[in-house]
Chains A and B, each alone.
Chain A
């Protein structure tokens, strides 16, 4: 692929995020490295507690107060990890935007849609309030909100869940960011609305050349919109690859297990699902060796002793497994 020739917009190297808790430090993200390029959709997949959200919370500087991030995140060549607040505020919201799972709690219930949208442009781009409102209206049309003019005067509680998520997306695109980080944007929505939102995101990617990072646990969503996929487990990336490789030639036993346990609509047999036995590990008590060891069918003595690093697989992707 020609991707290797291009320079990435965001390049993350050895990101480590630790939370100081009463039970000692908990490492939620361990040595995560990845690049993202213009107008691609990069998926981050994993179960709850895998650390996929914390990666981007660290980059955006919105970790909980007991969280510490180290490593490096270069945005267009400039270090943005742990920047002082006033510098970070010039970048996030403007060049990097994030949307969250619950559109109700991420909108301010006291402000009209118009106010909270225009605010972004007034602060980041220095537009006047009336110009900002005009631009907001255009953006609401862009995300296909019916009767956008009327909606500008509404408060968040007057909108449905799908509508609120559209407002969130519109708001995050106002400054035409280089990267849109979407943290489970459709998980709280109905499938019909999810289909509308995913469609919209793909369209926007085409129109604005925005790179999209899609954090999700839903492999269906990944298959539909992602170009490349990173699978996370126990705070680490365990497999990286092109979306087709991940789905058709998954290497890591966890990726395989995840695919097998996903119920599918296009298979006509009704039989029991292939579940992964056991539970995801607690990040506070990770054992020595591979974090997937106690749930893995292929566990060998080496897996108990040594933690595997990412290595090149036969299909050209990367996987962290001793089977390679």
Chain B
């Protein structure tokens, strides 16, 4: 991607805190730092994968970009517009440019609407000038694109399998031709053979419509497949950001290395020989994060410095960013 292009999405020092565990009405609530100081750019037509363990803030980041949760600091600029500075009405209008696909395909569809009503709803909201015939035409075209038979148009969500429901969800998101599509664990609930179909569909759609995609997932093999660049989060902070092959072949952060080596390879000889670095323990609580580097409590290379100073997130050449005092 050439650097003279303007990014579609610019995220700067984004932070999200949640109030938790208020002891009484008047006491100060504790803060859970779900996301701290996350910054990145997303180019038009680019896919950024976001990975990390559960509780690392990857879903919150997706929601914060869409302004679905309250942002505590930093800003999100979509196509030159600071989303935080918009009024409610303006923000609602700009949602045409940013759509989302969710993890549970059936739960994200209204069971009382049929497929036509579900897919056409965004058009009715954002393109009030369209006639009924136009809307139906576009819905049918979109159903072709996502691989749903036109004869399903009057059916209801419960009549479909998980993979088909996810296609409906994708059709609903893509019908307004968003510039940004956020997929939050969009294939995690699907079977392997269906997961491959949906991943291929998303890649085809991106080629056709030049959509930028943020693909949030805990499944590193899927993320690797679909993403141009990958951002690794740990405890709400950026651990590493790099181009996909660079990250998988030359990960600098010990956390990324452990994460990658923990993924089992579907090949008995390789996986039985492979000595994976097994991370001990669990992710610490985001209410009382460790001092210094957040990863130091589980890091095999941790030293005194890591407890005292938080490592800066900096470029180690060829756009490979790492937050670590002792990168590999």
Interface residues of A (CB under 8 A from B): 47-48, 146, 160-163, 190-196, 198-199, 217-224, 226, 243-244, 247, 257-259, 261-266, 268, 270, 272-277, 279-280
Q: Check B224–A223 contact: CB distance below 8 A.
A: no
A261-B192, A261-B196, A272-B203 known; A266 and B270 CB under 8 Å? yes
Interface residues of B (CB under 8 A from A): 53-54, 161, 163-164, 191-197, 199-200, 203-204, 218-222, 224-225, 244-245, 248-249, 258-272, 276, 278-282
Q: Check A198–B264 contact: CB distance below 8 A.
A: yes
- 23 of the cross-chain contacts (CB-CB < 8 Å) are A47-B191, A47-B193, A192-B278, A193-B53, A195-B279, A196-B280, A220-B221, A221-B264, A223-B268, A224-B264, A224-B265, A224-B271, A224-B272, A226-B268, A259-B266, A261-B192, A263-B219, A266-B267, A268-B249, A270-B225, A272-B200, A273-B196, A273-B200
Q: Check B218–A190 contact: CB distance below 8 A.
A: yes
- When distances are taken between beta carbons in the complex, the residues of chain B under 8 Å from A192 are 53, 258-259, 262, 278-279
- When distances are taken between beta carbons in the complex, the residues of chain A under 8 Å from B163 are 279
A257 touches which of B161, B193, B199, B221 (Cβ 8 Å):
B193
- When distances are taken between beta carbons in the complex, the residues of chain A under 8 Å from B244 are 270
Q: Nearest chain A CB to B265's CB is how many angstroms away?
A: 6
A194–B279 alpha-carbon span in the complex (Å):
10
In order of increasing CB-CB distance, the 3 nearest A-B pairs are A220-B264, A275-B196, A261-B196
- When distances are taken between beta carbons in the complex, the residues of chain B under 8 Å from A163 are 282
Q: Check A263–B222 contact: CB distance below 8 A.
A: yes
A198–B218 alpha-carbon span in the complex (Å):
18
- When distances are taken between beta carbons in the complex, the residues of chain B under 8 Å from A262 are 192, 196, 221, 266
Closest to A221 in B: B264
A146-B281, A223-B268, A259-B266 known; A279 and B225 CB under 8 Å? no
Known: A223-B268, A259-B266, A279-B161. 14 other contacts (CB 8 A): A47-B193, A163-B282, A190-B53, A191-B259, A194-B264, A219-B192, A219-B266, A220-B266, A263-B221, A264-B221, A268-B245, A273-B225, A276-B197, A279-B164
Q: Check B265–A266 contact: CB distance below 8 A.
A: yes
A47–B162 alpha-carbon span in the complex (Å):
12
A228–B127 alpha-carbon span in the complex (Å):
57
A56–B172 alpha-carbon span in the complex (Å):
40
A199 touches which of B193, B218, B219, B278 (Cβ 8 Å):
B278
Q: Check B276–A195 contact: CB distance below 8 A.
A: yes
A221-B264, A223-B265, A266-B270 known; A193 and B192 CB under 8 Å? no
Closest to B279 in A: A192
Q: Nearest chain A CB to B8's CB is how many angstroms away?
A: 21
A146-B281, A160-B282, A196-B278 known; A264 and B197 CB under 8 Å? no
Q: Nearest chain A CB to B274's CB is how many angstroms away?
A: 8
A220–B280 alpha-carbon span in the complex (Å):
21
Closest to A273 in B: B196
- When distances are taken between beta carbons in the complex, the residues of chain A under 8 Å from B280 are 196
- When distances are taken between beta carbons in the complex, the residues of chain B under 8 Å from A279 are 161, 163-164, 194
Q: Nearest chain A CB to B273's CB is how many angstroms away?
A: 11
- When distances are taken between beta carbons in the complex, the residues of chain A under 8 Å from B164 are 279
Q: Nearest chain B CB to A294's CB is how many angstroms away?
A: 13
B199 touches which of A193, A226, A268, A273 (Cβ 8 Å):
A273
Q: Check A263–B196 contact: CB distance below 8 A.
A: yes
Q: Check A193–B265 contact: CB distance below 8 A.
A: no
Q: Check B193–A265 contact: CB distance below 8 A.
A: no
A217 touches which of B192, B196, B249, B265 (Cβ 8 Å):
B192
Closest to A246 in B: B268
Q: Nearest chain A CB to B208's CB is how many angstroms away?
A: 14
- When distances are taken between beta carbons in the complex, the residues of chain B under 8 Å from A190 are 53-54, 218
A191 touches which of B203, B220, B266 (Cβ 8 Å):
B220
Q: Nearest chain B CB to A212's CB is how many angstroms away?
A: 15
Closest to B193 in A: A276
Q: Nearest chain A CB to B65's CB is how many angstroms away?
A: 23
Q: Nearest chain B CB to A282's CB is how many angstroms away?
A: 9
Q: Check B192–A258 contact: CB distance below 8 A.
A: yes
A29–B259 alpha-carbon span in the complex (Å):
37
- When distances are taken between beta carbons in the complex, the residues of chain A under 8 Å from B54 are 161, 190
A258–B196 alpha-carbon span in the complex (Å):
10
- When distances are taken between beta carbons in the complex, the residues of chain A under 8 Å from B281 are 146
Closest to A50 in B: B191
A191–B221 alpha-carbon span in the complex (Å):
11
- When distances are taken between beta carbons in the complex, the residues of chain A under 8 Å from B259 are 191-192
A47–B204 alpha-carbon span in the complex (Å):
25
A257–B106 alpha-carbon span in the complex (Å):
25
